[in-house]
Structure 1
Amino acid sequence: MVLLTGGQVSMAISSAIVFVFTSALFFSGYVLQQRSVKGIQDAIKPRLPPPPPPSTLPTPLASSMSSSRLFRGAPGSKGHAAYQHYISHQQPGVTVDWNRLAYVQLVKSHDEVCNAIMLFGELHRLKSPARRVLLFPQSWALEKQAKKGEYADPYLDTSRRLLRMAARRYRVELRPAEPFVKGSGLELPASYSLASVFRLVDYERALVLATPGLLLDATPLDALLAFSPLSSFAALQTSPEAGDAWSDLLLLSPSTELYSSLSEVQTKHPSSDLELLHGAFRESPKIGPPQSGHHLVSSISMLHEAEAGFNASAFLTSSAYIRFSDPKLPGPEYDVPYFDRVRARPRNKDADWVWTKLYGNFAQKRMDICGLDLEPWREGMEDGLR
């Protein structure tokens, strides 16, 4: 039998205490580390929109079912085509390849660059899992630094800086776009067309939103991009009064054949983007006007029509994307003189609060994302005020 002295017993007890507390500290640190890692993973991983259950078949999309061929089932079928498509995606083993889906923006001039990047910045913040593609004139990538005495594009450096920032910060894929009509001379903005999106054949589907605008909720747009029935082309019709003015949202499936066909038509009969696409897809599905109080795209012009009882909170929470198509101002990127802005405000006080808030938010995001102030109001633009 080995007898321990008092010092040895004291040392053994001290060592045991140190071991216990060290082990406890290690395990607590390990648990905190795992929680931190999980928190970081949750923060950076994409937000995947699940197919909505039948009881809530998706509100922003279901709003158009009564008037849209895109969501109309075949005669005698049960439910709508979109409903059946959603059900099929709820089956085990069916997944969405988000690498084949993309939000696409085409910028034709320098003043459109920040508006497009602001949209991509919000998609990144809201964790949209779809890819982001920005098409820009190829001359911006080819043009070299002007020598002394030569004409230099004064805005080119700013646009290049913003493009590089978008690729680095928001994982935007930059793709130079060729002039849509060959031999058109100077590469003016009109030389480029939204039909160029059809050349992106490495994507199954592309969604184009009109800018400038503010993205409030990416989930319904992601659901539209991922789960709506596949078609060559579909467009958003904002209201029954809009007629054929469905430029707010375009949903299309890229195709080399379609691009070649559109290029041929444009060469023979030059026209605007919307005239070209509408003529080619006149019988294609249209996403009809919302009827359930939810909107994929809302226009800020709706605030000028607000009547008594207008619900400001409902307007904001029910809109996924708000486009600044304001008939009384040239655009949210311009710093309009105070008295002109006052004359342009909605008459309804609650609508005026939302209107002012949205313009303020746009100006702040423009600074936060692009580092740009509002553009000064220039003479000659007074005709834009009505």
Structure 2
Amino acid sequence: MPSSQHRRRKSSTTNLGDLPSFLENSPFFIPFSNEESPAQSVPKPTFSQLVRSKNAQALLAFLVGVFLFWYLMPRKGDISYEALGRWGLLHGGGAQCLYDPKALVAVPNITDLGTKEYEGLDWEKLAYVTYVTHKDVLCNSVMLFESLDRLGSRAKRVMLIPDTEEFRTEDYSSRSAQEDATVKRLLKLAESKYGVKLVRMRIIRKQLGFQMWAASYSKLHTFSMAEYTRIIILDSDATLLAPLDELFLLPPSTATMPRAYWLDKPTLASHIMVITPSAAEFARVQKEIDKAGLGVYDMEIVNALYGATCNVLPHKPYALLTGEFRRAKDKHTAYLSPGEVWDANQVKKEARLVHFSDYPMPKPWEGISQNDVKASRPACVKTEGGEDCSDRDVWRGFYREFRERRMEVCGLESMAWWGSNPNY
């Protein structure tokens, strides 16, 4: 017969299953055998518990990471807007319209300006606009209008000029007689020979760091010119190689601009813009100008205003930079189409507008030493048959042609560059 002490022990251990688990092995309880311990049942985990477990969450995170890496990794030759958009949306930077492949407009491939596609256009309501902020760049605008005239463009031509004494042809008291005569002659040339309408504007200038861009806000006056239904704005530091009238056939949009392909961050370029002006739109633009701070110029403003909704103009062939020809042969991926091989002569043949942007090279009407030109010019590439200097030849041709046309159109010499040396 079991002793009373044993009976008490068995009685005390019978209900151990009701104790908290952390007390089951407590030294304050008398040890017992498995036979004496009640069976412990462990419930199966629910689906919800399995999903919330650390192992399941770690596995899910790994699978998501693998998928994102596969989806976002650029494929061979994949430099499309869609690919840029994948990264841009992930990192949340740049002009949002560049992330949408549908924003890239299809420009009509029309070289004959007399075709039926242009018959429905009201040319009185369409215009090219350039802007002049200083007398030193006045000739550049005249040269652009000469090109438009020579190429047969039918749209109106407007030059925005400062409403300042410097550009008042009736008052030359503060400048030398030669400068007075040059300004007057070029303004008259633009009006009488190339049919340019001169529109005076208030120069918008802010002391915000880089003074070369301090007056760039002035081009944004164009958004107020509601007498036109569509305007093509051109910076004057460019060479026009072909007519751009096909851009008037683009789908309706407040602003259509090319991608600044030379920048890492998806950004819209402002040296050529196709816009629909209105009083309401100019009010929005003016508001952005008024609050612009350090480092905010025309390009930043148009990206802030239209980066989410604009149509995108193909940068090839409408936004070629002269600096592109100074890159190495394998560094043209951003400009070229997927799978395309760089050919300087072919690129020039296809280009319609070339923008002189070539740091540290100055603009083609400014001065530079021969040594600096030699240090900056594109390099020749060694080939099996000798040397390929096509990049240098095309690049040099842009600058030489600009200087020659400056003399031909405006009667002005550019500042000294390379003198008579043809091998700069």
The TM-score by the shorter chain falls in which range?
0.5 to 0.7
1:255 paired to 2:270 = no
Q: 2:346 aligns with which of 314, 318, 324?
A: 314
User: Given residue 233 of structure 2, which amino acid in structure 1 is its aligned partner?
Assistant: V
Instruction: Determine which of 253, 269, 281 is the counterpart of 1:231.
Output: 253
Secondary structure at 2:137 match in 1: helix
Change in CA separation of 1:367 and 1:230 when aligned onto 2, cut-off 3 Å: same
SS in 1 for 2:157: strand
Normalized against structure 1, the TM-score is what? 0.66
Cα distance between partner residues in 2 of 1:191 and 1:92: 34
Closer, same or farther in 2 for the Cα pair 1:93/1:151, shift >3 Å?
Answer: closer
1:185 is matched with which residue?
none
| 1:209 aligned residue | 234
Contact 2:205 2:214 in 1 (8 A): no
Q: 1:181 to 1:259 in 2, by over 3 A?
A: farther
1:241 matched to 2:283? The reply is no
Matched, 1:342 2:374: yes
Residue 374 of structure 1: aligned partner: 414
1:22 aligns with none
Candidates 393, 400, 414, aligned match of 1:360: 400
Tell me if structure 2 keeps the 8 A contact 1:238–1:298.
Answer: no
Shift of 1:267: 2.7
| Change beyond 3 A, Cα 1:260–1:237 | same
Q: Secondary structure, in 3 states, of the residue corresponding to 1:295?
A: helix
Q: CA RMSD in A?
A: 3.6
Residue 215 (structure 1) shift: 1.2
Contact 2:128 2:233 in 1 (8 A): yes
Task: Identify the match of residue 305 of structure 1 among 301, 315, 327.
Answer: 327
Structure 1 pair 102/345, CA: closer, same or farther in 2 (3 Å)?
same
SS in 1 for 2:152: coil
Gap runs ≥5 in structure 1: 1-62, 75-79, 183-187, 378-386
Q: Give, in whole Å, the separation in 2 of the partners of 1:92 and 1:152.
A: 50
Q: Deviations over 1:330-356 (max 9, x none)?
A: 111124222221111101311011111
Distance 1:307 1:83 in 2: 28
Specify every segment of 5 or more residues in structure 2 that has no aligned partner in the other structure, as ranges. 1-79, 86-96, 207-212, 331-340, 381-388, 418-424
* TM-superposed deviation, 1:286: 4.4
Give the superposition deviation at 1:117: 1.1
Any conservation in 1 of the 2:169–2:183 contact (CA below 8 Å)?
A: no
In 1, Cα distance between the equivalents of 2:351 and 2:190? 25
Aligned match of 2:358: 326
Aligned mates of 1:103, 1:93 — CA distance in 2: 16
What are the superposed Cα offsets for residues 194-233 of structure 1, whole Å, 9 maximum, x if unpaired?
2200121111111112231211111xx2111x21111111
Contact 1:238 1:248 in 2 (8 A): no
Paired-residue identity, % = 26
CA distance in 1 between counterparts of 2:268 and 2:105 reads: 25
Aligned residues: 293
Question: Which one has more relative contact order, counting CA pairs under 8 Å at least 6 apart?
Answer: 1
Q: Distance in 1 between matches of 2:236 and 2:122?
A: 26
CA gap of 1:262–1:248, structure 2 versus 1, over 3 A, is closer
User: SS in structure 2 opposite 1:250?
Assistant: strand
Larger Rg: 2
TM (normalized to structure 2)?
A: 0.60
2:183 to 141, 145, 159: 159
Alignment match of 2:318 (pick from 296, 302, 318): 296
Distance 2:200 2:326 in 1: 39
Contact 2:322 2:356 in 1 (8 A): yes
What is the DSSP-based 3-state SS (H/G/I as helix, E as strand, rest coil) of the residue aligned with 2:318?
strand
**What residue number does 2:124 align with?**
99
**Conserved 8 A contact 2:160-2:198:** yes
Amino acid at match of 2:310: P
What is the CA-CA distance between 1:141 and the residue it aligns to? 4.7
